[in-house]
Amino acid sequence: MGALTEIGLYVLQTLGSLYLALVILRFLLQLARADFYNPVSQFLVKATNPLLLPLRKIVPGIFGLDMACVVLAIVLHWVLINALSLLVASAFPNPFHALTWAILGLVGMVLAIYKWGLIISIVLSWLAPNNPNPAVLLLHQLTAPVLRPFRRITPDLGGIDLSPLFAIMALQIGEILLAQAAFQTGISGGIAHLVIGI
């Protein structure tokens, strides 16, 4: 692989994964009913609106979920996988395989976002509890739905909250199962580098 190909691969993967993360974060924050007027939320809205608003005209929401966001993320990842494959192998993958890989990669990104969100929340709770920063407030709103079921089943240990630990364990198990499913669909070796989130 030549230097120009490697540079192109790096730039496409970096910018592609960054924009995909913004789209997914917007969807997850809507799902968590996070503060729409938070400055970080407003940044996500402005960054994703150019592609999302036209798509909303043809993709309706379902049960209050912004399905246009989901479709946009899948289509972007599918296009990205095809572009990266063209760069690396000078050929397009099977479209059905690319679609399957795009969906699995996005699930992987969701799991990673929640896992790292919880880890950052734990660290911040030790270093800067009650931090009023808008990004920190949004992070707590994002992770609250994931923690809620674990808070119901974990015992009260006098101010020590073990629910993030169990939530992270569950997310790690999800990542292991996803990696196995990805392997079954042919995501291994060189293909694994093309699928963001795996």
First CA to last CA distance, the chain: 22
pLDDT of 23 > 70? The answer is: yes
Tokens describing residue 119: 């880890």
Q: What is the pLDDT of residues 26-36, one digit of tens each?
A: 999 999 988 88
- Mean local confidence (pLDDT), 122-139: 85
Is pLDDT larger for residue 2 or for residue 27?
27
Q: What is the pTM of this model?
A: 0.89
3-state secondary structure of 195: coil
Produce one character per residue of 102-128: b if its CB has 16 or more CB atoms within 10 Å, e if not: bbbbbbbbbbbbbbebbeebeebeeee
Q: What is the pLDDT of residues 77-125, one digit of tens each?
A: 999 988 888 887 777 888 888 899 899 999 999 999 999 999 999 898 8
- Mean local confidence (pLDDT), 31-53: 92
Q: What is the pLDDT of residues 146-190, one digit of tens each?
A: 999 988 887 767 677 788 899 999 999 999 999 888 888 877 666
Work out the percent of the chain whose per-residue pLDDT is above 90. Answer: 46
- Taking the C-alpha atoms of residue 50 and residue 56, their distance in angstroms, rounded to an integer, is 11
Query: What pLDDT is recorded for position 113?
Result: 95
